[in-house]
């Protein structure tokens, strides 16, 4: 019995909250209500721009907004690239009529925004890109929510995974809801399509928006979250093996079932890798045999969570098998902290394993996002090099390096 459900605003906004923690300061992702408010007029959303770098046209790299089309019960994404003057419409069910409608509203928004900030604006200089090529097309009936999350992820240009992190404890109820909803999204169309192809097409061959650095950053992200297993297909490597940087305490029975909201109080922190790769994870073609690191599921003694997942019998296969491994590991060293804004000055964490030492990028507002320097295109090679000699990975000069790293590396 396959239980299916549509994605609501809570799930997508939660995902956006997490993306914003990792996105570059010059990339802003609005929540799902932005476009509905914008439809009522720019004055309704003028105050939403308070936290952005001003003037937006000069200092912002990109603004990404999810779009909810209420009449069609549909989600889509618009990415506004201020550097290249490109508006990209990413819709998993492309319909020209929708594109024209969005185009009209976004053009008006840009004009209003320019007037609001007393900037000059020339609509002729802008290119509106929207076709079936800009986003992978869904074949299922109810999958657009997950496609939107993956498109948001790609548009936000998330930097490589930075290692251990925690999520404030007060977000956990929303997490649970998110996974409850996202766990229901598995469907045949997603299992067939591979986001590996989708990612490159998503950023568009038409505009060549993806440079080699960004792609290598993407690869780095997915290879760096898996160290124990050889990352042959970068996405297929699941994030589980690297998650326990701290002494891996086996999850207690209480925390195993913490995927349901009633038990969430026992959780202290969550690790992030799964969330950032969740849409990708959901869309993977399944490997032929079960993954060695997933050979047992502590909660229901099934042999492989992957085969469990492939059976699609219930959404709890996702929450049961993945989440205890990936998300609900106790983090005694990382107490819950408030949401850290994506500033480059990261407070030094007590312990960062040497494999995760990826320097955060410095804030250069006028330069397009580039991945940190040590990430070279053969991501796996870079990763192994980083493992072998962590001292080569030096953070940029503007960032004060977390002091505890050196002694730990020396001990290793």
Partner 1 sequence: MPDVKPDIKERKPATQDESEVPDGKVQITVILGEQTFKYAVKPTTAFKKVFETTEKQVAASPGTLRFHYNGQRLRPQQTLEEIEAELDEPVEFHAQLEQIGGA
- From residue 129, alpha-carbon distances to 90, 189, 196, 237, 295 in Å are 9, 25, 21, 33, 44
Which one of residues 24, 60, 68, 166 is an interface residue with partner 1 (CB under 8 A)?
68
Q: Which is nearer to partner 1, 73 or 343 (CB)?
A: 73
Q: How far apart are CA 21 and CA 224, in angstroms?
A: 19
Nearest distance in Å: CB 185, partner 1 = 8
**By C-alpha distance, which of 34, 53, 15 is closest to 102?**
34
Q: Does residue 54 belong to the site contacting partner 1 (CB under 8 A)?
A: no
Q: Does residue 13 belong to the site contacting partner 1 (CB under 8 A)?
A: yes
- From residue 346, alpha-carbon distances to 19, 22, 343 in Å are 16, 12, 7
Q: Does residue 9 belong to the site contacting partner 1 (CB under 8 A)?
A: yes
Q: Which residues pair with 324 in a beta bridge?
A: none
Nearest distance in Å: CB 24, partner 1 = 19
Nearest distance in Å: CB 259, partner 1 = 20
Number of residues that bind partner 1 (CB under 8 A): 31
Which one of residues 25, 136, 145, 279 is an interface residue with partner 1 (CB under 8 A)?
145
Contact map string, positions 104 to 133, toward partner 1, x by CB under 8 A = ------------------------------
Q: Which is nearer to partner 1, 147 or 222 (CB)?
A: 147
Q: Which residues pair with 63 in a beta bridge?
A: 28, 80
Q: How far apart are CA 239 and CA 276, in angstroms?
A: 10
**By C-alpha distance, which of 156, 138, 268, 297 is closest to 218?**
156
Q: How many other CB atoms are found less than 10 A from the CB of residue 411?
A: 7
Which one of residues 45, 202, 326, 393 is an interface residue with partner 1 (CB under 8 A)?
45
Q: Which is nearer to partner 1, 288 or 338 (CB)?
A: 338
Which one of residues 53, 85, 107, 142 is an interface residue with partner 1 (CB under 8 A)?
142
- 3 state SS of 96: helix
Mark the segment that binds partner 1 (CB under 8 A) among 71-79, 251-259, 302-310, 352-360.
71-79
Cβ-contact 143, 190 below 8 angstroms: yes
Q: Which is nearer to partner 1, 45 or 318 (CB)?
A: 45
Q: Does residue 33 belong to the site contacting partner 1 (CB under 8 A)?
A: yes
Q: Which is nearer to partner 1, 34 or 294 (CB)?
A: 34
**By C-alpha distance, which of 359, 356, 345 is closest to 394?**
359
Any residues with CB less than 8 A from the CB of 203 and at least 6 apart, and which?
A: 154, 209, 210, 214
Which one of residues 42, 48, 101, 128 is an interface residue with partner 1 (CB under 8 A)?
48
Mark the segment that binds partner 1 (CB under 8 A) among 141-149, 218-226, 239-247, 289-297.
141-149
Q: Does residue 149 belong to the site contacting partner 1 (CB under 8 A)?
A: no
**How far from each other are the two terminal CA atoms of the chain, in whole angstroms?**
49
Q: Does residue 50 belong to the site contacting partner 1 (CB under 8 A)?
A: yes
Q: How far apart are CA 268 and CA 336, in angstroms?
A: 7
Mark the segment that binds partner 1 (CB under 8 A) among 46-54, 159-167, 223-231, 346-354.
46-54
Nearest distance in Å: CB 34, partner 1 = 7
**By C-alpha distance, which of 29, 22, 19, 18 is closest to 67?**
29
Q: Does residue 74 belong to the site contacting partner 1 (CB under 8 A)?
A: yes
Cβ-contact 324, 255 below 8 angstroms: yes
Query: What is the layout of strands, in order, in the sheet containing 74-81?
Result: 27-29, 62-69, 74-81, 86-90, 127-130
Q: How many other CB atoms are found less than 10 A from the CB of residue 343?
A: 10
Mark the segment that binds partner 1 (CB under 8 A) among 64-72, 293-301, 322-330, 380-388.
64-72
Contact map string, positions 89 to 108, toward partner 1, x by CB under 8 A = ----x---------------
341 burial type by CB count under 10 A (0-12 exposed, 13-18 middle, 19+ buried): exposed
- From residue 374, alpha-carbon distances to 116, 370, 385, 393 in Å are 40, 11, 10, 6
Nearest distance in Å: CB 309, partner 1 = 20
Which one of residues 78, 128, 141, 311 is an interface residue with partner 1 (CB under 8 A)?
141
Residues forming the site for partner 1 (CB under 8 A): 5-9, 13, 30-34, 36-37, 44-45, 47-48, 50, 68-70, 72-75, 93, 141-145
């Amino acid at each position: 019995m396959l239980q299916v459900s549509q994605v609501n605003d809570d799930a997508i906004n939660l995902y956006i909250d997490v993306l914003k923690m990792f996105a570059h300061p010059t990339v802003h992702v609005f929540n799902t209500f932005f476009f509905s408010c914008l439809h009522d007029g720019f004055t309704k959303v003028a105050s939403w721009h308070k936290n952005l770098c001003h003037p937006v046209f000069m200092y912002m790299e990109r603004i990404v907004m999810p779009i909810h089309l209420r009449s069609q019960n549909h989600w889509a994404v618009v990415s506004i690239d201020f550097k290249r003057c490109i508006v990209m419409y990413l819709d998993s069910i492309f319909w020209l009529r929708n594109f024209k409608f969005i185009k009209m509203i976004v053009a008006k928004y840009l004009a209003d925004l320019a007037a609001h900030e007393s900037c000059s604006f020339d609509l002729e200089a802008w290119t509106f890109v929207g076709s079936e090529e800009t986003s992978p097309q869904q074949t299922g009936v109810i999958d657009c929510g997950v496609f939107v999350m993956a498109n948001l992820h790609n548009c936000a240009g998330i930097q490589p995974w930075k290692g251990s992190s925690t999520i404030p404890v007060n977000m956990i109820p929303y997490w649970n809801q998110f996974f409850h909803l996202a766990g229901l999204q598995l469907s045949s169309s997603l299992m067939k399509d591979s986001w590996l192809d989708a990612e490159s097409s998503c950023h568009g061959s038409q505009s060549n928006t993806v440079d080699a650095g960004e792609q290598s950053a993407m690869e780095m992200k997915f290879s760096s979250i898996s160290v124990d297993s050889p990352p042959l297909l970068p996405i297929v490597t699941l994030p589980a093996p690297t998650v326990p940087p701290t002494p891996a305490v086996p999850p207690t029975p209480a925390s195993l079932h913490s995927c349901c909201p009633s038990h969430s109080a026992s959780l202290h922190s969550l690790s992030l890798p799964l969330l950032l790769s969740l849409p990708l994870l959901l869309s993977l073609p399944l490997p032929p045999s079960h993954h060695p690191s997933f050979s047992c599921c502590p909660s229901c003694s099934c042999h492989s969570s992957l085969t469990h997942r492939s059976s699609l019998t219930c959404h709890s296969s996702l929450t049961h098998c993945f989440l205890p491994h990936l998300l609900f590991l106790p983090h005694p060293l990382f107490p819950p902290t408030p949401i850290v804004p994506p500033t480059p000055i990261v407070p030094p964490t007590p312990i960062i394993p040497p494999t995760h030492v990826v320097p955060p990028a410095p804030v250069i507002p006028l330069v397009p996002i580039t991945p940190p320097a040590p990430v070279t295109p053969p991501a796996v090679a870079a990763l192994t090099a980083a493992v072998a000699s962590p001292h080569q990975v030096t953070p940029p000069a503007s960032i004060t390096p977390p002091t505890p790293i050196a002694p730990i590396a020396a001990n290793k």
